[in-house]
Structure 1
Amino acid sequence: MAQSYPIVVAQYKIKNHTSRTEHWNIVVLQTINHAHVFEVVGNSDTYAHVPRTIHNFARLRDLRGGCSVGSIAEDKLDWLKERLREVPVLRYEPSFDCHTWVFEALHLLRDDGIVTDDTSERRIRAELKLEEERWEESEDTVEERLFPRH
């Protein structure tokens, strides 16, 4: 049986953005540091979906935790990479940004049965606000709760 990995919406502090104070992406955590990251990067005229694998997730300077939204079997990671390429990336659209892309991706993955049913904007934003508070108080954030150090 294939191992299952948590899927989280991760948030990162950003500065000098016209309307957002945090960047969001979707992350599959194999370990506290080994992560498959799916995100939209750039600005309104250069947005692009950029999947990547990183090996220092919990040590990222601007990481402010995240919100667990589901899990995926190890043998479905390649499928997930291809599936998330189907999420539209809109350029020159003022209402589109990384938050919009994440919600569109979550809707698609919810329909596929990969993420939990409660991926509402209200729940995600509320949980990420709590995560920010946990981070500010030096409490465990999602990656630390998912992969506790003994």
Structure 2
Amino acid sequence: YRIALFQFWRGQEEPNRLYPLHWAFYIETGPDVGNTYEVVGDENTYTFRTRVNQLLENKEDHRGGCYVGRVNSDAELVKMGDILAKVEIHRNLPFWNSNSWVETALRVLHDARFCIYSEQFMKFGRLQNTMLLA
């Protein structure tokens, strides 16, 4: 299975004050369905959410994506979900969001010996540019 990282439009707080794009991992597990791993909520309520074998939500808000790694078996897919569920979530930090969680999650997966394509690739600016150009 390929590990995809997608970003989604979240609107704007007020004119000319955009929310950051939302980032989520997605692994296609069958035709038109897959597992989504993400942090949802706001600064005060962030929580980890997994959706298993579901259609990708918010397709109309999709703003690009890229492949960041591979999962080689169903057992490894389950292990990945377990690891992601334990990645630290910060609340009440104004500049922390789903992008921050994804960056940490990529490092944690890499350190757990998952096939993540490149440490250099894991940097925020490079990921965002790659997704926009895809």
How far apart in 1 are the matches of 2:100 and 2:50?
Answer: 17
3-state SS in 2 of match to 1:53? strand
Distance in 1 (alpha carbons) for counterparts of 2:92 and 2:57: 33
CA gap of 1:7–1:25, structure 2 versus 1, over 3 A, is: same
Give, in whole Å, the separation in 1 of the partners of 2:46 and 2:127.
23
| Paired residues, number | 127
1:64 aligns with 2:48: no
TM-score, normalised relative to structure 1: 0.75
What is aligned with 2:110?
110
Contact 1:32–1:58, Cα closer than 8 Å, also in 2? no
User: TM-score, with normalisation over the residues of structure 2?
Assistant: 0.83
1:103–1:19 Cα change, 3 Å = farther
Q: Is the 8 A contact 1:6 1:30 kept in 2?
A: no
Q: Let me know the Cα RMSD of the aligned residues.
A: 2.0
| Distance of 1:51 and 1:102 partners within structure 2 | 14
SS at match of 2:30: coil
2:71 and 2:95 map into 1 onto residues whose CA distance is 30
The percentage of aligned residue pairs carrying the same residue is: 25
Contact persistence 2:25–2:38 (CA under 8 A): yes
For residues 83-129 of structure 1, give each alpha carbon's deviation from its aligned partner in whole angstroms, at most 9, with x where no partner exists: 01121111111121010001010111121232112322232111012
Change (3 A) 1:94 1:57: same
Q: Any conservation in 1 of the 2:11–2:18 contact (CA below 8 Å)?
A: no
Q: Greater shift after overlay, 94-103 or 30-39?
A: 30-39
In structure 2, stretches of 5+ residues that fail to align are: none
- The alignment status of 1:15 with 2:8, answered yes or no, reads no
Tell me what 1:84 maps to: 84
**C-alpha distance in 1, partners of 2:10/2:95?**
18
What secondary structure is seen at the aligned counterpart in 2 of 1:76? helix
